[in-house]
Amino acid sequence: MAASTKHPGKRIAERGLARDIVASDVAPSDVARSAAHDRPILEVQDLVVTASGVAAALVDGVSFSLARAQTLCIVGESGCGKSLTALALMGLLARPAVRVARGRAQFDGHALFEMSDRELSDLRGDRIAMVFQEPMTSLNPAFRVGDQIAETIVRHRGLGRAEARERALQLLRRVRIPAPEKRLDAYPHQLSGGMRQRVMVAMALANDPELLIADEPTTALDVTIQAQILELIADLQRDTGTALILVTHDLGVVAEVADRVAVMYAGRIVEQGPVERIFDDPQHPYTVGLLGSLPSIGRREGRLATIPGSVPPPSRWGPGCRFASRCPLAQQRCVTQRPELEQVGEGHAAACLRLPIDAHLDTRLSTQLGTHPDALRDIRPEADRGTRPHTRGT
Ligand SMILES: Nc1ncnc2c1ncn2[C@@H]1O[C@H](COP(=O)(O)OP(=O)(O)OP(=O)(O)O)[C@@H](O)[C@H]1O
Ligand code: SF4
Ligand SMILES: [Mg+2]
């Protein structure tokens, strides 16, 4: 993945073309194999996370599924519940203050929320791995990085020390750390931030996980290093076939690596669908706002656009649409009536009481969301308008 300045929609279109060509070459036996491959490795249903002393659910009815080798990008502004969703799946919520109050998460047939702490910790670092935003929260400053990587291999794979060290060395090579033999014996503080994050990626991949959750893995790094680390994660994901949940603010990266995108706002998924649909035909006013910078996208402009206002704190989340205080399309009913996700296209759903929003893609919506009207025309090709099934009028 290069730090391209191409329009993401263009890159997506090219990817779609590549898929079409591949699909026409598929033999019947491959179809059966691919059907097994497409079975979800993770299915999350109606996940609700609550915290003591906070009336509103911090994660409120989140559902999605992820096929093997697929990449789901979760986007949304700060405080939308992305990390709590990831932590809930990993069994790493700060219990008992923060806990899963409802919902199911099936990982390859295992009900994650019904597993004991012991069972979950056996799964973590083995079949499910996570890369956090700040590597120093996960690396122990007192131990050499090679020993820390080897430790997870010994624990989960039962290899001897020498073999585990050899595998740790291979992993450092795989994450493209220069002079890996030397780095094996380095302490975390002797490495740069970018190198520490590469060590974290090596550690996460140590046991060939089937699911990798990367929660804004590059936010603490400078822009050039961010691109390199995300490129590395995407390359490794493609090579290994690991399913990936990537939480990121970088729309350029989303366009490049995502199969599906979930847009979160104030604890809820407000829109989700195939990446092409989200970029070419966004159906939630919030998504339209986030995509505001699209036409001039580059690595730097690729971050989420700024929408006037900010995500209200959970204490102000009411019963209706939580985006209502910032939405140029809000009506009185939006404040009291909860919009549920409804299908707006194949595999594409949005939660807005005023679907389809095409009718409102006018100057008012676009300028208020900080998006130039021409940009919206670019996002949503004229020929496509009005062809999508929808169930609710304005
Ligand atoms: N332990 C806690 N107790 C109370 N509220 C919490 C707790 N942890 C998180 N929250 C609140 O839950 C909401 C979601 O938090 P979360 O960390 O999941 O957001 P996020 O989408 O990951 O944001 P960011 O992009 O800043 O990482 C926020 O409003 C946050 O303040
Ligand atoms: S439900 Fe109402 S407030 Fe919410 S996004 Fe739709 S129009 Fe805006
Ligand atoms: Mg977070």
Residue 375 has pLDDT above 70, yes or no: no
Q: Which atom of ligand 2 is nearest to the CA of 327?
A: 8
pLDDT band at residue 37, thresholds of 50, 70 and 90? low
pLDDT band at residue 136, thresholds of 50, 70 and 90? confident
Residue 53 burial (CB < 10 Å; 0-12/13-18/19+)? exposed
Cβ(361) – ligand 1 distance below 6 Å: no
**Residue type at position 335:** V
Residue 387 has pLDDT above 70, yes or no: no
pLDDT digits (tens, 9 = 90+) for 97-111: 999 999 999 999 999
Distance from Cα 34 to the centre of ligand 3, integer Å: 33
Q: CB 258: neighbour CB atoms within 10 A?
A: 27
How confident is the model at residue 186, as a pLDDT? Answer: 97
Residue 28 has pLDDT above 70, yes or no: no
Pocket test for ligand 2, best of 270, 325, 333, 334 (most atoms within 8 A of CB): 334
Distance from Cα 264 to the centre of ligand 1, integer Å: 12
Distance from Cα 386 to the centre of ligand 2, integer Å: 19
Higher pLDDT, 93 or 10: 93
Q: Whose CA is nearest to atom 27 of ligand 1?
A: 78
- Cis peptide before 282, with omega less than 30 degrees from 0? no
β-strand partners of 72:
245, 260
Q: What mean pLDDT comes out for the span 52-56? A: 96
Distance from Cα 92 to the centre of ligand 3, integer Å: 13
Cβ(285) – ligand 2 distance below 6 Å: yes
Residue 253 has pLDDT above 80, yes or no: yes
Residues 6+ apart with CB under 8 A from 93: 49, 84, 87, 99, 100
Residue 199 has pLDDT above 90, yes or no: yes
Pocket test for ligand 1, best of 48, 49, 52, 58 (most atoms within 8 A of CB): 58
- Take residue 270 and report the two structure tokens written for it: 């407000």
Residue 379 has pLDDT above 50, yes or no: no
How confident is the model at residue 226, as a pLDDT? Answer: 81
How long is the chain?
394
Question: How many angstroms separate the CA atoms of 166 and 172, rounded?
Answer: 10
pLDDT digits (tens, 9 = 90+) for 220-244: 777 788 888 888 888 888 888 999 9
> From the CA of 75, which ligand is nearest?
1
Q: Whose CA is nearest to atom 5 of ligand 1?
A: 51
How confident is the model at residue 304, as a pLDDT? Answer: 63
Q: Whose CA is nearest to atom 14 of ligand 1?
A: 81
The pLDDT mean for the chain works out to: 82
Highest mean pLDDT among 306-320, 329-343, 366-380: 329-343
DSSP state of 10: H
Cβ(97) – ligand 1 distance below 6 Å: yes
pLDDT digits (tens, 9 = 90+) for 78-96: 999 999 999 999 999 999 9
Question: How many angstroms separate the CA atoms of 200 and 380, rounded?
Answer: 39
pLDDT band at residue 215, thresholds of 50, 70 and 90? very high
Q: Which atom of ligand 1 is nearest to the CA of 85?
A: 18
Q: Which atom of ligand 1 is nearest to the CA of 311?
A: 29
Percent of all residues in the chain with a pLDDT value above 90, rounded to a whole number: 61
How confident is the model at residue 394, as a pLDDT? Answer: 34
Q: Which atom of ligand 2 is nearest to the CA of 337?
A: 1
At residue 133, the 3 state secondary structure works out as: coil
pLDDT band at residue 366, thresholds of 50, 70 and 90? low
Q: What angle do CA 187, 232, 176 make, to 5 degrees?
A: 50
Distance from Cα 327 to the centre of ligand 2, integer Å: 6
Residue 7 has pLDDT above 70, yes or no: no
Q: What mean pLDDT comes out for the span 280-293? A: 87
β-strand partners of 99:
50
First to last CA, the chain: 40
pLDDT band at residue 211, thresholds of 50, 70 and 90? very high
pLDDT band at residue 388, thresholds of 50, 70 and 90? very low
Q: How far is CA 206 from CA 52, 279, 307, 308, in A?
A: 36, 34, 40, 43
Residue 112 has pLDDT above 60, yes or no: yes
- Residues by chain with Cβ below 5 Å of ion ligand 3: 83
How confident is the model at residue 370, as a pLDDT? Answer: 58
How confident is the model at residue 369, as a pLDDT? Answer: 63
Q: List, as one string, the DSSP characters of 32-92.
A: HHHHHHHSEEEEEEEEEEEETT--S-SEEEEEEEEETT-EEEEE--TTSSHHHHHHHHHT-
pLDDT digits (tens, 9 = 90+) for 56-84: 999 999 999 999 999 999 999 999 999 99
> From the CA of 132, which ligand is nearest?
3
Cβ(356) – ligand 2 distance below 6 Å: no
How confident is the model at residue 20, as a pLDDT? Answer: 34
